[in-house]
Structure formats: C-alpha cells, structure tokens
Amino acid sequence: MHQGKYVFSQIMELVPWKRFQTCVNRYKGDYRIQGFKCSDYFKVMAFAQLTYRESLRDIVNCLRAVPEKCYHLGICNNLSRNNLSNATQHRDWRIFSDFAQVLIETAHELYQEDNNPVNLKAPVFALDSSTIDLCLSLFPWSPFRSTKAAVKLHTLLNLQGNIPDFILISDGKMHDVNILDYLNFIAGAYYVMDRGYLDFERLYSLNQSKAFFVTRAKRNTKLTRRYSRPVDKSTGVQCDQVVVLARQNSYESYPESLRRIRFYDPARDKQLVFLTNNMTLPAKTIADLYKSRWRVELFFKWIKQHLRIKTFYGISENAVKSQIWIGICVYLLAAILKKKLHLTQTLHQILQILSLTQFEKTPILSLFEQRNYKNVSMPICKPLTLFDL
C-alpha cells in the first residue's frame, strides 16, 4: 500500500505558494491574523470545491470527521464554522482574483503548443458573459431587475486550451458591451463575439489596435455594398461583400470598410450574417471562427455544473466573489494537472475522480491509469505431502 501523501496534498503542491503569498501581502490579507490565514482559507475552500460541499457547516463537519488527516492535508486543526464564516466575510476577494491570473499564466504556458479550433497561427479568443441569479432580499448589493439580483461573469476565453484569459465579475446591470473597455487587444489576434457586443465605436478601437473581430450583424444594421467577392455556395457561404455603414452616426463611429458574409447553417436551417474587419481569410474560415464561439458557452455550462458557484456560502459581495474566484482557481489547477500529467480524461472526468479520492494515499497519476485486466485461470495447486518435500 502506498504510504505517501494524500491526493488533496498532491493537488496543493501544484499551487505556487510564494506567489500566492505575494498576492496576500499586496492586500494585507494576513494582517493581525493569528490562526486561520489566507492560505488556510484557500485550502479549505478548494477542498469544498473539489468535494462539492453544500454549506460552511457541511465543510466543517466533513473535515472534523477526520481530524487526524487535516494536519497531513495542510489544513489547520482549529477549523470552526465561526472562523470560516469570518474568513468568508473578510478575506479580500482581490487576493484570489490576482492569484487566478498567476494560474492563468501558468496554464497558458502549458497549452501554448495546442492548436486553436481553425488552426490559425494567431491567438483566437471568444468573448461572452453568463448571469448567475441571486435572491434580491439576500443580495441587495447586486441588483439586476426589480425583483431579482444577479452577478455577471464576463469571460474572454483563449480557445488554445480553453483557458480564460480575462474575467470580470460585475453586477447584473452591467451591459455586455462595456467589457470591451477593460480589454487590452493583441495585434493580430481574433476576437469572436455575438451581436450583443456590436458597438461600432468600440469595435473601431479594436480595429485601430490591429486586432480582428468576428461578430454578427443585427437586423437593423444598415450597410451599403461596395463590391462583392466570388463565393463557393457549396460551403454554405451565400455572399461575401465589402460594405460600409450607411447611417451617418454609425459611419462616424466606424469610418472604414467592413466585410459582410452571409452563411447558411443547415444544422439549424438558419441564415447568419457575420461582420468582420479581416479582408483576407476565406469566408468559410470566418464562419468557422464564429462557430468556435460555442466553446465559451460550454465553459460557462461546465463550471456551473461541476463547481460550486451557483449557490454561495455567504451573502456579502466579498463572500460571493471569493467563492467564484476560488472556483476558477480550482478549474485552472485541474487544467494544469491534466497537462502536466498528460492525462487523456476530460476535465469533467478528472474532477469526478478527484471528488471521491481526496483522502486516498495514492499517486494522482495512478488514479487515471486505465488498464485492461483479463481473467487468468490460476492452476490448481496440489497439496504437498511429506514425501513430496
């Protein structure tokens, strides 16, 4: 039997603790804290995410049931619901936000050799947001509608490994298009977004950064065709045109030419109209770029289903944001683990296995090894007699 470290301890070894402490010191997270430091809080909340605990009391009861193991897990023994609740309220969420950026850098380095969905050499990003509904009476600090509260998770997903490149958590009232003001665009990169981000003034700033965008046109978008390009309709591309904006205020916001591509999607029996500032890629590649945007929607669906970010352990803004950011850190740690150990399983399968094996003393790699065992007939041994010796 392997007498090494627990699985949870092996996962925590992936955490660059020196850089985590740098984030803690930046916001004085351990100032006048004696026992339950930020690193202890992160470990407990990461454990809660990995094992899908339902409440603070559930977390405490689970860990108190195995007090002799908490020391080897790196979790302090003075854990109680009271100090865990206080930490949830007062450990600055910006510590975990900054640390998530550290893990994002590490994950990008590991996945930089992976191909994006359309095999372009340039980076491809998908931009979208997802709303997490809250109760207005419990979360009045994040109003959304007259009877509902919500937070929005704005995410720029790097499709080279499906690693988030930028995340912003806002209240429900923030419009999606405003996130473009927070981004630093990379020259030559492609940004794929839906028509909720169709703001020509902001898109022109993106164009001035020498980056490319692919989005959908709205029904009321007025365009004037300058000329058309030949297309192969067997690929689904119906037309490929160079256009300019017809309305005066829109043209003043974006005074340069755009490319309009109409594409027929047989799977949905629907015609889609794309707008882009890239004039060189084949029209079918533009359509494929927009199709790759579904990956950011799958990212939202995945983290909502497999991480604890839809129901919360606290009701303050700090508690909610801390829990979401720690959940994202757990997602990134799983992605780093998958790449470092060259695992073939999906992130969903990895987390499912890890959720049941946190208290096992098994090398992590052996948890994911798949072997085909065959029934081997063992020979029947005849008992030895005195004269056979």
Q: Is the pLDDT of residue 214 over 60?
A: yes
This model's pTM is above 0.75: yes
Per-residue model confidence (pLDDT) at position 387: 47
Per-residue model confidence (pLDDT) at position 381: 47
pLDDT tens profile 117-155: 888 889 999 999 999 999 888 899 988 888 889 999 999
Nearest in space to 167 (alpha carbons), one of 289, 366, 359, 326: 326
Q: What backbone torsions phi and psi does residue 136 show, to the nearest 5 degrees?
A: -65, -35
Distance CA 159, CA 128 (A): 13
Nearest in space to 218 (alpha carbons), one of 191, 247, 235, 194: 194
Q: Is the pLDDT of residue 305 over 90?
A: no
Nearest in space to 106 (alpha carbons), one of 269, 276, 334: 334
Write down the domain spans for the chain: 7-94+313-367
pLDDT tens profile 254-264: 999 999 999 99
Distance CA 325, CA 28 (A): 18
**Mean pLDDT for the stretch of residues 39-56:** 91
Q: Which residues contact 228 (CB under 8 A, 6 or more apart)?
A: 239, 240, 241, 242
Nearest in space to 112 (alpha carbons), one of 102, 123, 103: 123
pLDDT tens profile 267-301: 888 999 999 999 999 999 999 999 999 999 989 98
